[in-house]
Amino acid sequence: MVIHGFPRSTLDMDIYVPAKEGALNKLCTITKSLGLESKQKAILNIAHSPELFANQWLCFSYKGQDVLDVFLAREDEFAKLYKKSQKKQDKTLTIRVARLSDIKAIKKASGRPVDIADIKLIEEAKRRL
C-alpha cells in the first residue's frame, strides 16, 4: 500500500510467489542468505507437491521480528496477478506491484480486521480524488 502512496505503515512486507518447487526453494535460499528465519521450514519436505502448499502463507522473521510474509499462490492466480501488475521504480530498483483493485480483493478475501481497515483507507482515498 505504501508503494501506491497510502500512509499505511507496517513492520513487514507481503509478497506473492508462485507455488512451485523451484520458487519455494529459491525463496528459502534467498531468505536464509538474508538471515531471515521461518518456523515453517518443514514445508521444504513437500516442495515437490505444490498442490499441498498452494494458498499458504510463510512468515519470516529477523531477530524475532516478523518482517516478511509470503503467499504461495496457485500458478494460475499468480499469473493473473503478474499480468495485471504495475512496474514501480526508483533510481536503483524496479519491482512489480499488484493493482489496487487486486489488493482490495486479496484483503477482502483475508477477512482480517487490519485488511478490512485497509480497504476502507483505499476507498476513502479514491473518493477524495
Q: Which range of residues forms the domain containing residue 34?
A: 2-128
* Whole-number Å distance between alpha carbons of 87 and 95: 6
Q: What is the CA radius of gyration of the chain?
A: 16
* Whole-number Å distance between alpha carbons of 100 and 51: 27
Per-residue model confidence as pLDDT tens digits over 2-16: 666 666 666 678 889
- In percent, the amount of the chain with pLDDT more than 70 equals 91
Per-residue model confidence as pLDDT tens digits over 37-87: 999 989 999 999 999 999 998 999 999 999 998 999 999 999 999 999 999
Residue with cell 500458478: 75
DSSP string, 93-129: -EEEE--HHHHHHHHHHH--HHHHHHHHHHHHHHHH-
Distances (CA, A) of 107 to 12, 24, 117, 121: 15, 23, 9, 12
- The pLDDT assigned to 2 comes to 63
Angle between helices 100-110 and 113-128 (to 10 degrees): 150
* Whole-number Å distance between alpha carbons of 17 and 77: 10
- The pLDDT assigned to 103 comes to 86
CB-based contact 45:82 (threshold 8 Å) = no
**Domain count of the fold of the chain:** 1
- The pLDDT assigned to 110 comes to 80
- The pLDDT assigned to 17 comes to 94
